[in-house]
Amino acid sequence: MSSLELNHHQIQAFYTPNRFPLKPNPYLALPIGAVTPAGWLREQLVRMRNGLTGHLDVVYKEVLGDRNGWLGGDGDVWERAPYWLDGLVPLAYILNDGELKDKAQNWIEWTLQSQDYTGYFGPRAPDVEPEAEEGLQRGNAGDWWPRMVMLKVLQQYFNATGDVRVLDHMLRYFRYQLNTLPEKPLDHWSWWGKQRGGDNLAMVYWLYNLKGDFFLLELAELIHKQTYNWTDDFLNTKKVSEFYSFHCVNIAQGLKEPAIYFQRHQDRKYIEAIKKGLKDLEVYHGQPNGLFGGDELLHGTNPVHGSELCTAVELMFSLENIAAITGDMEFLDHLERIAFNALPAQSNEDYTARQYYQQTNQVLISRDERNFVTSHGHTDLCFGVLTGYPCCTANMHQGWPKFVQSLWLATADDGLAALVYSSSKVEARVSSGTLVRFTEKTNYPFEDTVRFTFNSAECVTFPFHLRIPLWCENARVAVNGEIWTGEAQNNILVINRLWTDGDVVVLQLPMKVISKRWHEGAVAVERGPLVFSLKIEENWKKVDNTDKHGPFHEVYAGTPWNYGLSDRDLSRLSGTAEVETGTLAYDYPWSLKNAPLQIKIKGKRLPAWKLYNHSAGPVPYSTQQNVEDAPEEELTLVPYGCTKLRITEFPLVR
């Protein structure tokens, strides 16, 4: 059967793999809607629907209202509408929400109908550059970069609906790119296209797999050649180790480009480049929450340097892509670290405000000057809609919906894979096309047990892949109450058997409490994928600001924060600690009052550790020996993602 004959039902049934000469990938995305989240993850998506994601065109109407260029207006023409739709579209179809679908469809229809005979689509540059307007991006209408984002939107829309107009639209546009890029390369209008060309390349390969037109492979080579050479920089230079060498979001997106290209040219240097790039980011700029110091340029490991919200969601998307291409589970360990720590910490509970930057040691959220490379009216830490820079207001929405899609994947051996864990249901086809369902119930990452129930109208043999995180020792799997004795290979346990309706798989991932050293020997406490922070009372203050950053909230500490951890107690804690576990009594765990876990540990107050430049001062040297006579206090640590104020990187004290 040729790709031209594939209809949406068949695409759903067979999860189109890479077409020769692209290499077969071990894992394949399921159609949007095949995975239905449950528990707290569904509640997170509902809060997005009721909050900014579902109402950004109203809350931010000056940019995303009727004047937007992606609706044919004369207003904002650049990245913010595509950014928003990149989260709105999957959210609408995952929740099966008719109102959100209709809202997204207006933008989809205009985009599809905007294409001209050359293949160009989207806002058009006027003969005369438009006058600047505060808060709008009216220039560079022809730029390649925002179209890269809109291509991802159209891909997701097709994966949800099977609307074949998308395929023809993309074919025409990619012919336009092939004809135009030699004269107007990816950095013709702005540097963003050259830095982020991997997103464009991924869409070209995706369409090639469906349509098979060989000119797409020619275009892919051209795009790769014009894209910034991330592979060489990661492998052969020290740029990642240097301050200010890269924009934080560019490198978060650029990390996936070598893996995307690896599908065509299977040289291991591309994968080694990614691993070295990530390792260098951790060593020279890393933070316990899975992110790195970049405010907006790379800025080292100091826990009061910021990390941008766009970095979090773009790095998550890169890791999701890299893992599916390579089958290497360390990338999904990294994904969970961001998703279960950094991501929930950077938006408020009802998803109506966000921070531009977050700090791992964040003890004061206020409109004050701090030691960031790039500051925006000193509002970067404040919770608002337009605090910091507005790109994150539009781009934040992709994080959780794409995370939902990464929970379950089809496998190259005609099975299913649960590689990232959260309560959910999946309906998919396995083996020769048998429709099956798994229901996953778990309080992971707060608890260590994941339960899968299999349902199908007929018995069927297929492999079921389970990820065993690298941090986990002695994982246990039982099938219908009997221990499964197979061994994991490369941190994947494959259960290949005849499945019968009602079969139950229980996966247990024991979690130890451990400590790791970070900036200048400071210590962070971890358990499984969760990082823990000092519980600090939060006093929120609304500021009715009237400048371009709009109203926002500041947060002040109601309890002391300047503690060091007892080195004696920490040595006892590691690997043997009793974690105080409450029942997950709330649908939404990501708040101080709802925190499902806490760890008790001894510490001492360090009076000399004070605010500096409105942030926690430099972390005192570990180990502090001049406080031996100070009284010990019992400290409470809670999951990082439940906090807005926190100390995460602690000094040690005698």
DSSP 457-480: SS-EEEEEEEE--TT-SS-EEEET
d(CA 643, CA 651): 19
d(CA 25, CA 324): 7
Rounded mean pLDDT of the chain?
Answer: 94
- Per-residue pLDDT reduced to its tens digit, 179-237: 999 999 999 999 999 999 999 999 999 999 999 999 999 999 999 999 999 999 999 99
User: pLDDT category, 127, cuts 50, 70, 90?
Assistant: confident
Q: What is the mean pLDDT of residues 561-578?
A: 78
pLDDT at 571: 73
User: pLDDT category, 6, cuts 50, 70, 90?
Assistant: very low
Answer with the residue of higher pLDDT: 570 or 229.
Answer: 229
CB hemisphere CA count around 299 (13 angstroms): 22
* Rg of the chain in Å (alpha carbons): 24
Answer with the residue of higher pLDDT: 139 or 144.
Answer: 144
* Structural domains of the chain, ranges and CATH numbers in brackets: 51-199 (no CATH), 408-508 (2.60.40.1180), 513-653 (no CATH)
Judge contact between 544 and 552, C-beta under 8 A: no
Can you read off the two tokens belonging to residue 333?
């360990």
Residue 525: pLDDT over 70: yes
DSSP H helical segments within 67-214, as ranges?
80-94, 98-113, 144-161, 165-180, 192-195, 197-211
User: pLDDT category, 276, cuts 50, 70, 90?
Assistant: very high
Q: What is the mean pLDDT of residues 277-306?
A: 98
Provide the 10 A C-beta neighbour count for residue 237. Answer: 13
E strand residue ranges, 264-418:
307-308, 357-358, 383-384, 408-411, 416-418
DSSP H helical segments within 524-628, as ranges?
567-573
Can you read off the two tokens belonging to residue 57?
């065109």
pLDDT at 624: 74
pLDDT at 629: 79
Q: Which residues of 295-330 are buried (b: 16+ CB within 10 A; e: fewer)?
A: bbbbbbbbbbbbbbbbbbbbbbbbbbbbbbbbbbbb
For the ranges 109-118, 124-133, 362-371, the lowest mean pLDDT is seen at 124-133
Can you read off the two tokens belonging to residue 376?
């925006």
For the ranges 527-536, 552-561, 616-625, the lowest mean pLDDT is seen at 616-625
